[in-house]
Amino acid sequence: MAITIKRLAHQILENHIDLYNTVLIGIQPRGVYLSDQLVSEIKKEVKKDAIQYGKLDITFYRDDVHKEIRVPNQTNILFSIEGRNVVLIDDVLYTGRTIRAALDALMDLGRPEKVELCVLIDRRFSRQFPIQPDYVGKSIDSIVSQKVKVFWKEKDGKDEVVILE
Amino acid sequence: MSLSTKHLLGIKDLTQDDISLILQTAQQFKEVLQRPIKKVPTLRDVTIVNLFYENSTRTRISFELAEKRLSADTINFSSSGSSVSKGETLLDTVNNILSMKVDMVVMRHSASGAPHFLAKHIPAAIINAGDGINEHPTQALLDAFSIKEKTGSLDGRKIAIIGDIMHSRVAQSNIYLLRKMGAEVMVCGPPTLIPKYIAEALDVQVNYDLKQTLEWCDVANVLRIQLERQNQVLFSSLREYNLVYGIKRHMLDEVKKDIVIMHPGPMNRGVEIDSDVADSRQSIILQQVENGVAVRMAVLYLLAGRGSENN
């Protein structure tokens, strides 16, 4: 997993030289573990103060508020995204509904020039919205009844991706 | 994780977890309110009626703003100028409104227990915005949020509630909440305005001396003298009240520490609080109002999904 994250970091840097006009935004709660690691990889390659990194909570933008009330997490974006290139970062891309909500949340913070999506796991063939990732750690073919979960050392004690039946 | 209750009728019914959840959620809404676009689409499909059977400025505006910031549809109702003057009962009024597909009711009423009565008879979620001399839960929640924001935590904090404790729903809700969250509470005021068995019943300290109270506390929540609820003479004059129980600058200077000054509004300047105290650096009265919107957004959000559970 560490090697994959290193690759993703380099792929982002390849498209965003020195992160000029680019900001990185991790999606709360579990995308943040990936984005934290990506940012620490990227820090090895570019000047620290060139990195603008924030966290976005999408709870208030979900389309299933009526089904389930979720506890919100912190949104912490201390810079303007107006006219910037945004790389959204999440752990698993599945139906695309989270990213749909994240795009809405982003638009309320400003008008980015461009938004890209970086995910560790892409569950192909299960999308419910026309949303595709730009950077993929690994693509997985899974069926709807399965659950794909990424475990992180900081949170769960181990770095691991599992498919739960 | 969700609230243990379907309505917010009073702090009395909430658990410690409920209170923590509301305060934590309010923190995230406070961040939303600092954005250039202070609005989220969360309650797009929810309709809320604000039923105000009693006058209000802050609470009413605050609820309405909170609802609008959450993209809910709102209807405002005040008893003056409505069919209430033609003799319609509370339950009939509410049932008529609900038949037009309203999901939540925010209600202020001069009768204690009015929202509890409604909760027994209607399916919508009810938020008590103040009932008589019983409770004013969202005020207590925003006070707690403000204390936490200013001083870091509630646990072990010493809070004094000063003034007309007898007629104050704010005092009652505050005491319930602060005791549940581990804060110490002292009430202070003229003996005629403090219920006789409050120390045993609500587990608070009672002190009739303002100076001692100020020396004891970290936070002083100063209550309004409710002129509209004084149907008998419980103290001789406003001037005397001010002399004995009004918070004055020199008193705060004599106390060695910086006490946080709070007031739920509307203030009677020169009665329970002097202007130079109300406008001082120690006062967080306007922050309380600001936090009120975030706290009410949190309550509305956390209760919004609950009403539909029985549909």
Task: Sketch out chain A's domains with CATH numbers.
Answer: 2-164 (3.40.50.2020)
Give residues with Cβ within 8 angstroms of B226, minimum separation 6.
B164, B167, B168
pLDDT digits (tens, 9 = 90+) for B129-156: 999 999 999 999 999 999 999 999 999 9
Collapsing DSSP states into helix, strand and coil, what is residue B5?
A: coil
CA distance A16 to chain B (A): 27
Q: What angle do CA B232, B236, B238 make, to 5 degrees?
A: 100
pLDDT at residue number B229: 64
pLDDT at residue number A145: 87
Give residues with Cβ within 8 angstroms of A107, minimum separation 6.
none
ipTM of this complex: 0.82
Domain ranges of chain B: 11-135+290-310, 137-288
Indicate the residue of B25, B35, B45 with minimum beta-carbon distance to A72.
B25
Indicate the residue of B27, B28, B45 with minimum beta-carbon distance to A66.
B45
Choose, out of A61, A62, A68, A69, the residue to mutate when testing the contact with B (most B CBs < 10 Å).
Answer: A69
pLDDT at residue number B85: 74
Choose, out of A59, A60, A106, A109, the residue to mutate when testing the contact with B (most B CBs < 10 Å).
Answer: A60
Q: Do the chains contact at A71 and B31, CB–CB below 8 Å? A: no
DSSP string, B240-252: HHHHHH-B-HHHH
pLDDT at residue number B84: 76
Superfamily grouping for domain B11-135+290-310? Aspartate/ornithine carbamoyltransferase (3.40.50.1370)
Alpha carbon separation from A71 to A165, B3, B264, B302 (Å, rounded): 26, 10, 28, 9
CA distance B32 to chain A (A): 8
Question: Which residue would you say has higher pLDDT here, A66 or A6?
Answer: A6
Alpha carbon separation from B93 to B7, B82, B97, B241 (Å, rounded): 19, 10, 6, 41
| Chain B residue with Cα closest to A63 | B42
pLDDT at residue number B231: 63
Give the lowest-confidence range in A64-73, B88-97, B239-248, B266-275: A64-73
Residues A101, A103, A106, A110, Cα dihedral to 10°: -140
Domain B137-288 belongs to what architecture? 3-Layer(aba) Sandwich (3.40)
What's the burial of B69, exposed, middle or buried (CB within 10 Å: 0-12/13-18/19+)? buried
> Are B302 and B2 within 8 A, CB to CB?
yes
pLDDT at residue number B227: 74
| Chain A residue with Cα closest to B36 | A109
pLDDT at residue number B311: 37
d(CA B218, CA B225): 22
Note whether B11-135+290-310 and B137-288 share their fold: yes
Give the lowest-confidence range in B80-94, B172-186, B248-262, B273-287: B80-94
For residue A67, list chain B residues with Cβ-Cβ distance below 8 A: 305
Choose, out of B20, B29, B31, B300, the residue to mutate when testing the contact with A (most A CBs < 10 Å).
Answer: B31
Question: Which residue would you say has higher pLDDT here, B256 or A57?
Answer: A57
pLDDT reading at B308 higher than 70: no
What's the burial of B34, exposed, middle or buried (CB within 10 Å: 0-12/13-18/19+)? exposed
For residue B308, list chain A residues with Cβ-Cβ distance below 8 A: 66
Q: Do the chains contact at B28 and A57, CB–CB below 8 Å? A: yes
End-to-end CA distance of chain B: 21
pLDDT reading at B307 higher than 60: no
pLDDT reading at B310 higher than 50: no
Q: Do the chains contact at B40 and A108, CB–CB below 8 Å? A: yes
pLDDT digits (tens, 9 = 90+) for A91-103: 999 999 999 999 9
Please tell me if residue B31 touches chain A, with a CB cutoff of 8 Å. Answer: yes
pTM score of the predicted model: 0.90
For residue A65, list chain B residues with Cβ-Cβ distance below 8 A: 42-43, 304-305
